[in-house]
Structure 1
Amino acid sequence: MRGESVVVVGAGQAGCQVAVSLREQGHRGPITLIGDEAQKPYQRPPLTKAYLAGETDLAGLVLRQDSYYEDHGIKLVTGERVLGVDRSARVAVLGCARTIGYDHLVFATGARPRPLPIPGAEHVLNLRSVADADVLRQRLDGQVGLDVVVIGGGFIGLELAAVVRKLRHEVTVVETQPQVMQRAVTPETARQLVNRHRSEGVQVLTGRGVAAVREGLVELTDGTVLVADLVVAGIGVLPNTEVAQRSGLATDNGIVVDAHLRTVDQRVHAVGDCARFASTLTGGLTRLESVQNATDQATCVAGAILGSAEPYTALPWFWSDQYDVKLQIAGLTEGHDRAVTVGDPAEGRFSVFCFRGDKLVGVEAYNKPIDFIMARRVLEGGNTLTPEIVARPGFDLRGSLQRAA
């Protein structure tokens, strides 16, 4: 197994980490990493923050220096798209009918921005790639006071709004749900994020959508018309599953894989944003979009290719930086039925403990990094916290764990 060939389709965070982990775990066979962007593998999270703000350049985003791939025998193919996979012949098909053979293939094809199904969508920018960020930087650079409308109040939309506001432009965020980040955070955390944005002068409009975009105008579903020099959408992503589907693999909001991240073809895996995996945490199929998930799944798949029988069980965690707010989330809070807030939200430092029944399933730490660190330990280890314990006056997570030890 250590001498077999591996082809990785997709050169983002997950794909690059598969190649790196294979070498770190002792794989000696050929590794080919194929990406459809011209750039070497790079980090995406800084695109909405430091890169857009001009605080770093492309060199500051790369995951590995150029010499790394050559030094570790990883064949990096950029600017090429895999058009199909012939699983019976074990070959990946590129343009001009070129093929690359494999013993194992890993889909790390990521995701693309969800299209905006409205008139005038061609006037709307997205922010997913370096190329997208470069276009947006060019439009914002050297000017102040532009009217910018951000469609979508999720992670990407709010991070983008914070940076654009710091660049001294007028910003309006439009969110169709009654709460920003509705599927990701509790109402208390969402309320404090909105308050922080409004304190910076951002207009946040919830419970209404965008009906149409005209040149210089955005029409909302309630009849409101916004002036807009620039419109950017951050309404989520769709997993890139087309090649896997054409190769006969099951797809359902992602490439369907088991707890070992394998498809029905034991020699084909999927990782990262494109993978819908059998989660040991939720008991069902789950697809996650985070750097942690991408890197941990990549490490797991490298081990599987080399013969490990360990399933993917890593605890999910997420983060978002907006102004001086660092929001860190440990676990999966979706579907919780009780939340206990510890600390004073008005002071800008608090944590929300989310329970399903009496079981702690996740913690949102708002400018409380120590709670985030401790919450990960609790969720990864023996989780004995109950809503009643957390709700006691003066409860402190670190102190509670120290006493328990």
Structure 2
Amino acid sequence: MNDAPAQELPDLTQGVAHADLLHAGKLVGRVGEAEVLLVLDGEKIFAVGAHCTHYHGPLVDGIAVGGEIRCPWHHAAFDLSTGEALRAPAFDRLPCWSVERQGDRIFVRSKREAGPYVQAPTGNIERIVIVGGGAAGFSALFELKRAGFTGVLTMIGAEKAPPLDRPNLSKDYLAGSAPEDWLPLRPASYYAENGVDLRLGATVSAIDPAKGAVKLEDGEELAYDRLLLAPGAEPVRLTIPGADLPHVSVLRSLDDCRAIIERAKTAKRAVVLGASFIGLEVAASLRAREIEVHVVAPEKVPMARVLGEEMGAFVRKLHEEHGVIFHLEDVATAIDAEKVTLKSGLSLPADLVVAGVGVRPRVALAEKCGLAVDRGVVVDAFLETSAPRIFAAGDIARWPDPHSGDKIRVEHWVVAERQGETAARNMLGARETFEAVPFFWSQHYDVPINYVGHAESWDAIKIDGDIAAKDCVLRYKRGGKTLAVASIYRDIDSLRAELEMERALGR
């Protein structure tokens, strides 16, 4: 990675040696104050912005393949010719510059105007309704507008906030290191400016597939030519005594996060119920606020079900090094104003309690209107449900995963975004199978864990590197086949694993 200030980077207007680019394949320079990445992909040379438009990841540390540049951090991809964001979590395109080769030197001087996005056919589709204002709903909306859809587009979100960067609710925003205005995926003005009828704090009470209409709780009826169900998941609520006390919260919405932050201003001791990714990210964020944190969970090793026992043990040790106290193989039985009582009989003083004991897909609406449901809303390879014209994406969708051969449902942000993109194109008439390799990341203090693929079970884990040294790749195998790969500070290996899974399908 090149962390040099822009003024110390080579001035590409003065040219660089072709041999330097040939040696490295990628080279960061500058044009004026802009950092520009030169990329050699096959015989072609491209010049694009040096940083991913998602979280500013350094693209020089990524992979260039097949006319794309892929971000090492969260696996966004961009078209090297146009700069267009090809897949989430990035939505904004990269700037592009013209490249000139004179003899053995390469020059970059002029910035190119952005070309039009390749528009999808819209046929006679005039009215689209999106139910859900989360990752899948927003990415579908964005893709529809980018693809040129000019009909009536309505988004109905149960939350009061417009679509936001939900992963940060348990990470930087909760920790106090990111401002709230960093959360919205687009400014509030974006929706009206792009002709989107955004209904926040609204609930759909019924769907009539035969009529092609949704009915809102207030009685209003909206017709659709295509409907996307993307309501996400809801937190599992505690049923123990004291679960409804004001200092007890779940974390799903912006309002939930605001409530935790407000309580954290005066809290001294917090108890987190659940050692999931969300629960442990909350624990890390509260530790950043110098609050004493206890984590209570029924499992023996945190996250062993997803990451295996060795990685789970590492995550526990990492949190303990930062002061988190674990109470494993135990559960809460009651909460009062001052403490949490555990099944073991132990009492933990607490003036803040966060429950992260899992989520459930919001499938009630789908069940009510007769869609096929099996531990999620059943969709085909095109993300279409059992009812024509109705698609589903995100936390509720159970789809045929071509990589594992299983029907799976994944509760991860990037998967939801990519499904929203595919569903949008298919609602406009494309017949694009959803083949994206599942991906998620989790941040624990300064340690990122990347995970590609999906392994609900495995018979072997092959470890390359040293988990304790935070330099490792873990391959989860079943019958000799790699189903998933987890890594710490092995970004290139993570990208390569994703590529290998794609190529196994002939992509």
Give the structure-2-normalised TM-score: 0.72
Within 5 A, what are the aligned runs for 1:90-109?
Answer: 90-109=212-231
| Pair 1:130-2:243 in alignment | no
Matched, 1:45 2:167: yes
- Residue of structure 2 in register with 1:366 after alignment: 488
Cα deviation, residue 382, structure 1: 4.0
SS at match of 2:173: coil
Distance in structure 2 (CA, Å) of the matches to 1:59 and 1:99: 33
Moved more, 275-284 or 181-190: 275-284
Q: AA paired with 1:67? A: S
Amino acid at match of 1:373: L
Which protein is richer in strand relative to its size? 2
Equivalent position amino acid for 2:367 in 1? Q
Contact 2:404–2:483 at 8 Å: present in 1 too? no
When structure 1 is superposed on structure 2, of 318-327 and 371-380 the one drifting more is: 371-380
Moved more, 367-376 or 174-183: 367-376
Tell me the equivalent position of 1:160: 282
1:346 match: secondary structure: coil
1 or 2, which has the higher helix percentage?
Answer: 1
Structure 2 residue 362 is matched with structure 1 residue 256: no
Matched, 1:218 2:325: no
Once superposed, what is the RMSD of the aligned Cα atoms?
1.6
Structure 1 unmatched ranges of 5 or more? 384-405
Q: Which residue in 2 is equivalent to 1:308?
A: 430
Render the CA deviation track for 1:130-168: whole Å, top value 9, x for unaligned.
000000000012x46x11110000100000001101111
Kept after mapping to 1: 8 A contact 2:176/2:289: no
On the 8 A contact 1:152/1:175 being kept in 2, the answer is yes
Shift of the 98–382 alpha-carbon distance from structure 1 to 2, 3 Å rule, reads closer
Instruction: Measure, in 1, the Cα distance between the counterparts of 2:323 and 2:460.
Output: 32
Q: CA deviation at 1:250?
A: 2.2
Instruction: Answer with 61-70 or 308-317: which moved more.
Output: 61-70
Over the matched positions of the two proteins, sequence identity in percent amounts to: 36
Which residue number corresponds to residue 461 of structure 2?
339
User: Greater CA deviation, 310-319 or 360-369?
Assistant: 360-369
AA aligned to 2:446 is D
Asked if 2 retains the 8 angstrom alpha-carbon contact of 1:238 and 1:253, the reply is: no
Of 327, 330, 355, the match for 2:452 = 330
Aligned to 1:290: 412
Per-residue CA deviations over 1:277-310 (Å, capped at 9, x if unaligned) read: 2322333331111121111111111121122222
User: How far off is 1:326 after superposition?
Assistant: 0.5
Q: Larger radius of gyration, structure 1 or 2? A: 2
For residues 6-405 of structure 1, what are the structure 2 equivalents within 5 Å? 6-123=128-245, 124-141=248-265, 143=266, 146-382=268-504
Q: Aligned partners of 1:310, 1:79: CA distance in 2, in Å?
A: 32
Take 1:345 and 1:119, find their aligned partners in 2: how far apart are those partners? Answer: 40
CA separation in 1, counterparts of 2:406 and 2:492?
31
Partners of 2:408 and 2:462 lie apart in 1 by 25
The whole-number CA distance in structure 2 between the counterparts of 1:161 and 1:329 is: 21
In the aligned structure 2, how far is the partner of 1:227 from the partner of 1:96? 44
Aligned length: 381
Range with greater deviation from structure 2 (168-177 or 181-190): 181-190
C-alpha distance in 2, partners of 1:184/1:336?
10
Name 2:5's counterpart in structure 1. Answer: none
Counterpart for residue 66 of structure 2:
none
Cα distance in 1 between the residues matched to 2:503 and 2:371: 35
TM-score (norm: length of structure 1): 0.90
On the 8 A contact 1:362/1:379 being kept in 2, the answer is no
Letter in 2 for 1:26: G
CA distance in 1, matches of 2:351, 2:195: 48
The 3-state SS of whatever aligns with 1:183 is helix
CA contact (8 A) 1:272 1:298 kept: yes
Contact 1:185 1:333 in 2 (8 A): no
Alpha-carbon separation, structure 2, partners of 1:96 and 1:171: 43
SS of the equivalent of 1:122 reads coil
Code of the residue aligned with 1:231 in structure 2: it is V
SS at match of 2:304: coil
Aligned residues of 1:189 and 1:366 also touching (Cα < 8 A): no
Q: CA deviation at 1:11?
A: 1.1
Mapped partners of 1:212, 1:252: distance in 2 = 33
- Given that 2:155 and 2:199 are in contact with CA atoms closer than 8 Å, whether structure 1 keeps it comes out as yes
CA distance in 2, matches of 1:185, 1:242: 31
1:214 to partner: Cα distance: 2.4
Is the 2:304–2:311 contact (alpha carbons within 8 Å) kept by the matching residues of 1? no
Offset at 1:119? 2.2
8 Å Cα contact 1:4/1:29 also seen in 2:
yes
Change (3 A) 1:259 1:382: closer
Q: Which amino acid aligns with 2:318?
A: R
Alpha-carbon displacement from aligned partner over 1:47-89 (angstroms, at most 9, x marks no partner) = 0111112223332111112332233222211121111112222
- 2-structure distance, mates of 1:150, 1:342: 32
* Contact map agreement 2:135 2:413 (CA 8 A) in 1: yes
Aligned partner of residue 51 in structure 1, secondary structure: helix
1:32 partner SS:
strand
Q: Report the CA distance shift for 1:177/1:278 in structure 2 as closer, same or farther (over 3 A).
A: same
- In the TM superposition, residue 92 of structure 1 has moved relative to its aligned partner by 1.0
Letter in 1 for 2:330: R
- Of the structure 1 ranges 131-140 and 277-286, higher mean CA displacement relative to structure 2 is found in 277-286
Q: Deviations over 1:185-204 (max 9, x none)?
A: 11111111111111111111
